[in-house]
Amino acid sequence: MWHALFMSSILFTFAYLFKKITDREPNKIKYQFYFISFYVSCYMLALVMWPLFLFSPKNVRNCKWAAKILKHVTKIMNLKWELRNGEILAEERGAVVVSNHQYTLDVLGMFNIWDVADRISAIAKKELFYVWPFGLSAYLAGVVFIDRYDPKEAYKQLQVTSEVMTKNKTKIWIFPEGTRNKNFTKFLPFKKGAFNIAVSAQVPVIPVVYSPYYFINPKKHIFNKGHVIMQCLEPIPTKGLTMEDVPILIQKVYEKMTAAYKELSKEVLSDLPPDYAYSPVG
């Protein structure tokens, strides 16, 4: 009897969850399901991949193989990623890639274009290293972890990273806002770390702008079908620049990315039907 009740309760729970996830109307379970799917996929892949990464530890190409698998989570989330001016990322050279940061889904966007960029690594906060097995797998795949609360140690780590970037013609991807920005109207101020690296190594800065995630509204638990444009802007050279020029460089990149973001916002929002109720919120 108890066994039958237990099985019935499990079947009822699954049926309820399935109904909520497939429901066309927004709801909390459906909203969280998409993010959990991404996190669980990352966890499971990390669990399988990290022993394989031991054969070539800290090789940035390891990320490429992981990205080939993880990018398919996009299909579950019903998202479309569109890369523009991808030839800029494809060119073999050392460079610092900077992009705006809205959600953890930005990483999924990176996975979808990793084939184009090829030799690329990312900077992540040190706390993520301790989220095992993901942190270990990321470390073995060449992700660089820095301690945001120890500027001197972070600077030393970034110096080593810039040397590897120049020698191996590797691109380093950094979110200069430093944290996720939920304000769809403007960027957060850019931190100078990414630009210090670029000037120190005398490599170009490549801005990559994500269009706004108009299809997500956490307050209303909305996660609709979405289209995200990732637009590469022309590289900004740093040859001949010194550390004194970093503030001007930051301002230049910030203005170019802001202008591109505004244009992308107009484009993606103008394609929405007039009765589309779920627009970005700050």
CB 113 within 8 Å of CB 92: no
Count of structural domains, the chain = 1
d(CA 77, CA 111): 14
Predicted confidence pLDDT, tens digits, the chain (282 residues): 555 665 666 676 677 666 777 777 877 888 888 888 888 888 888 888 888 888 888 777 787 778 888 888 888 888 999 999 999 999 988 899 999 999 888 988 988 888 888 788 877 777 888 887 888 888 888 788 877 666 666 666 666 667 667 777 888 899 999 888 877 788 999 998 889 889 988 999 999 999 999 888 888 888 888 899 999 999 999 999 999 999 999 999 999 999 999 999 989 888 777 766 554 544
Determine the 3-state secondary structure of 142 from DSSP. coil
CB 228 within 8 Å of CB 213: yes
Burial class (CB in 10 A: 0-12, 13-18, 19+), 49: buried
In a domain, 89, yes or no: yes
In a domain, 3, yes or no: no
In a domain, 1, yes or no: no
Whole-prediction pTM: 0.86
d(CA 190, CA 24): 38
| Domain membership of residue 83 as a residue range | 23-271
In a domain, 279, yes or no: no
User: Count of residues for the chain?
Assistant: 282
Using N-to-C axis directions, what is the helix angle for 28-53 and 2-22, rounded to 10°? 100
Burial class (CB in 10 A: 0-12, 13-18, 19+), 282: exposed
In a domain, 281, yes or no: no
Alpha helices in 78-150 (DSSP H): 86-90, 105-117, 134-140
**CATH, residue 135:** 3.40.1130
In a domain, 96, yes or no: yes
CA atoms within 13 A on the CB side of 137: 20
In a domain, 121, yes or no: yes
Using N-to-C axis directions, what is the helix angle for 61-70 and 28-53, rounded to 10°? 140
In a domain, 117, yes or no: yes
Q: Which of 163, 150, 123 is nearest to 139 (CA)?
A: 123
Determine the 3-state secondary structure of 93 from DSSP. coil
